[in-house]
Structure 1
Amino acid sequence: MSTVRIGAAAAHFGRDLEFDLARIAKLIDDARRAGAGLLVLPDAALGGYLADLRHPDPDALPPALAPDDPVIGRVAALAAEMVVCLGYSEDGGQKRYNAAVCVSGDGVLGRHRKVHLPAGEVAVYSPGESFDAFDTPVGKLGMLIDYDKTFPESARSLALGGAEVLACLSAWPTSITNRAPRMAQDRQARLFDLYDQTRAAENQVVLASSNQTGSLGGMRFLGQAKVVGPGGDILARTWSKAGLAVAEIDVTAEIDRARRVLRHLDERRPSAYRGGAE
């Protein structure tokens, strides 16, 4: 992988798919103007996230889209030469999934179904079953959907699969049970940044973290989109505002530099770990 500009978006999305598509088109255009080859959009960019995590209303859920829904093809057409990752609610027939898809003008490059579901999502979604890295024109990628990145095994599985860039798509709200007077003091805001930096540093990979902004129902989203280097350093960020975090990085060279002396993936001792960690 040569030098690439990576963009991570902080933006608001709701139930109106045409509104969402217009916003996606604007973000893709802004990223293209910034020279980005990869753009990571938030979880639930098509249709918005749940309005209530404690008691989701079954009559007010995001629209469920088939994996081959034409709206995903429209995003692929907008992406053209760029690689774009985005989230949506997937219609799996008898099941519904919190899902992500990675596209370019050539079509679908990779997919992911959220594996780790917080309490409120269990009532709505079924869990995915794997973490799979995939090839793209900007290198080998892996995707995580918000709560997935809380678990070290998720990112580690993708890194072991060869992913050099982790795309973390989120609809991550402020704390529901312990609201802080200022977002900077919010527990979930602190954890969001901590997980982003830790997952990059422990796997020595590049991480692009997107998130929703604004409010939906009782949910208030953090923003805090960022690009993180393989040493855990934040290369670009939006803070809590809507916008794009864009960083230019020679991914392979920076990963090689991070792994020059300490190579975390090679120095693991799986036989010493509990729970079948590999």
Structure 2
Amino acid sequence: MVNLSIVQFTPVWGDKPHNLHQITTLLKDLKADIIVLPELCTTGYSFLNQQEALIGGEDETGEGVKLLRHLAVQLQSMIVAGFAEKAGDKTYNSALVALPDNTFKIYRKTHLFFKEKLCFEPGNSGFFVVDHPLADCKVGIMVCNDWRYPEAARSLALHGADVIACPSNLVSTLWGVGMPARALENKVYLAVTNRCGTEKRILEDGSEQALTFNGGSVVYDFNGAPLLQAGKEEDAVLTVQIDPHLTRDKSFNAYNNLFTDRRPGMYSLD
């Protein structure tokens, strides 16, 4: 069995020290094998252009990455957390996978949403699965808007994911329809960690941009049923015990299997 935690909170735009302090406080003494935090949780979400992302972003030597790696070792947990990644003169909306053995991997968001396209490059990491070094569990990573593209979750499932971790900054309610479908159609657990609160920015034309994030972080089981769910507005640290082995037989009756019944040749556009 594996203990899976989702950590919902309200990052403050542009105040990385405050956000890192919040993360440290929320994770203090948390006992979980896997911990999933929101998208862009070290900086806040509302970058307006790439220059802001370059200023707010960090590479693998940055203070946010260092802290998350330290916490992963200290807590002996896998921590999945969204951050603004700076790579030379490019920026990515990324997720750090910090491991308890002090190694790490970085996923770069494949499907950018809305004005993210003004701030970040489309991700080039591809979809991959990480073996937990201390638990028999394979974790796949996607970020927020990736949920709209069934190929994302399917790719991770075909790579062997038992669990998909999805750091998010969600503002609509449609994901409540799509996310459980991703879990069901791939027979995987799906951990969606959203943030809450409203971010306001003044645009170049003097108008105000306000984005309200609707919380509701949730862990779905492999049938798409919620195992637990946070409220819409409050900080929350929720933990559930899951059994990764239950995801590995993709049969759903004596004659049908989600993967072996696939007919890729029939899906061709040629």
TM over 0.5: yes
User: What letter is aligned with 1:170?
Assistant: S
Deviation at 1:244, TM superposition (A): 2.3
User: What is aligned with 1:245?
Assistant: 238
User: What is aligned with 2:106?
Assistant: 111
1:185-200 to 2 correspondence within 5 Å? Answer: 188-189=172-173, 191-200=174-183
User: What is aligned with 2:204?
Assistant: none
CA distance in structure 2 between the partners assigned to 1:224 and 1:73 by the alignment: 28
Unaligned runs of 5+ in 2: 201-209
Equivalent residue for 1:86, pick from 81, 87, 100: 81
Deviation at 1:127, TM superposition (A): 0.5
Deviation at 1:263, TM superposition (A): 2.4
CA distance in structure 2 between the partners assigned to 1:58 and 1:162 by the alignment: 35
User: What is aligned with 1:255?
Assistant: 247
CA distance in structure 2 between the partners assigned to 1:275 and 1:99 by the alignment: 31
Equivalent residue for 1:11, pick from 3, 9, 16: 9
1:49-88 to 2 correspondence within 5 Å? Answer: 49-50=45-46, 56-57=48-49, 60-61=52-53, 63-79=56-72, 80=74, 81-88=76-83
In the superposition, relative to structure 1, how do residues 58 and 110 fare at CA in structure 2: closer, same or farther (>3 Å)? closer
Equivalent residue for 1:206, pick from 189, 192, 210: 189
Equivalenced residues, count = 251
CA distance in structure 1 between the partners assigned to 2:155 and 2:241 by the alignment: 25
In the superposition, relative to structure 1, how do residues 117 and 202 fare at CA in structure 2: closer, same or farther (>3 Å)? same
1:126-205 to 2 correspondence within 5 Å? Answer: 126-129=121-124, 130-137=126-133, 138=135, 139-173=137-171, 188-189=172-173, 191-205=174-188
**Deviation string for 1:113-140 (max 9, x for gaps)?**
0011123111111011311112123321
TM-score normalised according to structure 2 size: 0.86
CA distance in structure 1 between the partners assigned to 2:49 and 2:59 by the alignment: 21
User: What letter is aligned with 1:232?
Assistant: G
User: What is aligned with 1:182?
Assistant: none
User: What is aligned with 2:265?
Assistant: 271
CA contact (8 A) 2:51 2:119 kept: no
CA distance in structure 2 between the partners assigned to 1:275 and 1:150 by the alignment: 20
CA distance in structure 2 between the partners assigned to 1:60 and 1:102 by the alignment: 24
User: What is aligned with 1:26?
Assistant: 25
Deviation at 1:57, TM superposition (A): 5.0
In the superposition, relative to structure 1, how do residues 103 and 220 fare at CA in structure 2: closer, same or farther (>3 Å)? same
Deviation at 1:104, TM superposition (A): 2.7
In the superposition, relative to structure 1, how do residues 36 and 236 fare at CA in structure 2: closer, same or farther (>3 Å)? same
CA distance in structure 1 between the partners assigned to 2:83 and 2:237 by the alignment: 20
Answer with 128-137 or 141-150: which moved more: 128-137
**Deviation string for 1:217-250 (max 9, x for gaps)?**
1111011111111111110110313212321111
User: What letter is aligned with 2:193?
Assistant: S
Seq. identity, %: 28
Unaligned runs of 5+ in 1: 174-187
CA contact (8 A) 1:207 1:227 kept: yes
**Deviation string for 1:126-174 (max 9, x for gaps)?**
011311112123321111110111100001011111111100010112x
User: What is aligned with 2:203?
Assistant: none
In the superposition, relative to structure 1, how do residues 263 and 155 fare at CA in structure 2: closer, same or farther (>3 Å)? same
CA distance in structure 2 between the partners assigned to 1:112 and 1:131 by the alignment: 7
3-state SS, counterpart of residue 111 of structure 1? strand
User: What letter is aligned with 2:34?
Assistant: L
